[in-house]
Amino acid sequence: MRETVYLSLGSNIGDRQGHLREALERLNGLARVTAVSPFYETEPVEFTEQEWFVNCAAAIETVQTPEWLMSALLELERQMGRVRFEKKGPRTIDLDILLFGERVVNTPGLTIPHPGMATRRFVLAPLAEIAPEARHPVLKKTIRQLLAELPAGQPIIRLP
């Protein structure tokens, strides 16, 4: 069965926008990309002593399992030069599964919906551009509602 999956993409090393565009092109080899948000420049959170990110959200359609897709995304990150030196550290590309249809997955290697998405403006703002009415299957709220409930802060800039 074909399912809609929402992804978050980010980069803060080198040609950040170029890395996002390359990742989106490569995603077409894994699934059908159906929507891409505008790009946003975003301040890093948690580990803040690094360059700002460029982030976007993408919708894809796939017949694969969540585990298969996560494995493929990790391989795509590796092929694009991502090296995991430190948790939340700088990266050429970061690919996260936010929502996978209505599924809830909680295994040692994968959590869907993404556990931090509801508190991150850099995730919700781009996602709201392409899927404002998508519903978080655990919180039972739309992306638009989650974004509206965020406190002020987490500066982000929509890029032209």
Reported confidence tier of residue 50, pLDDT bands at 50, 70, 90: confident
Q: Report the pLDDT averaged over residues 92-96.
A: 96
Domain ranges in the chain? 3-158
Active-site entry in 16, 26, 94, 121: 94
pLDDT at 153 over 90: no
pLDDT digits (tens, 9 = 90+) for 131-146: 999 999 999 999 999 9
Would you list the DSSP string of 12-48?
Answer: -SSSHHHHHHHHHHHHTTTSEEEEEPPPEEE---SS-
Active site residue 144: no
Reported confidence tier of residue 57, pLDDT bands at 50, 70, 90: very high
pLDDT digits (tens, 9 = 90+) for 28-40: 999 999 999 999 9
Tokens describing residue 104: 């809830």
pLDDT at 9 over 90: yes
Q: 78 vs 71, 140, 153, CA distance in Å?
A: 11, 34, 32
Distance between CA atoms of residues 153 and 21, nearest Å? 27
Active-site entry in 15, 16, 26, 82: 82
User: What pLDDT sits at residue 154?
Assistant: 85
User: What pLDDT sits at residue 85?
Assistant: 66
Reported confidence tier of residue 17, pLDDT bands at 50, 70, 90: very high
CATH fold of the domain at 3-158: Alpha-Beta Plaits (3.30.70)
Active-site entry in 96, 103, 135, 144: 96
Output the furthest CA–CA distance in the chain (Å, rounded).
43
Active site residue 91: yes
pLDDT at 49 over 80: no
Task: Specify the pTM.
Answer: 0.95
Active-site entry in 16, 21, 78, 91: 91
Q: How many CA atoms lie within 13 A of 96 on its CB side?
A: 23
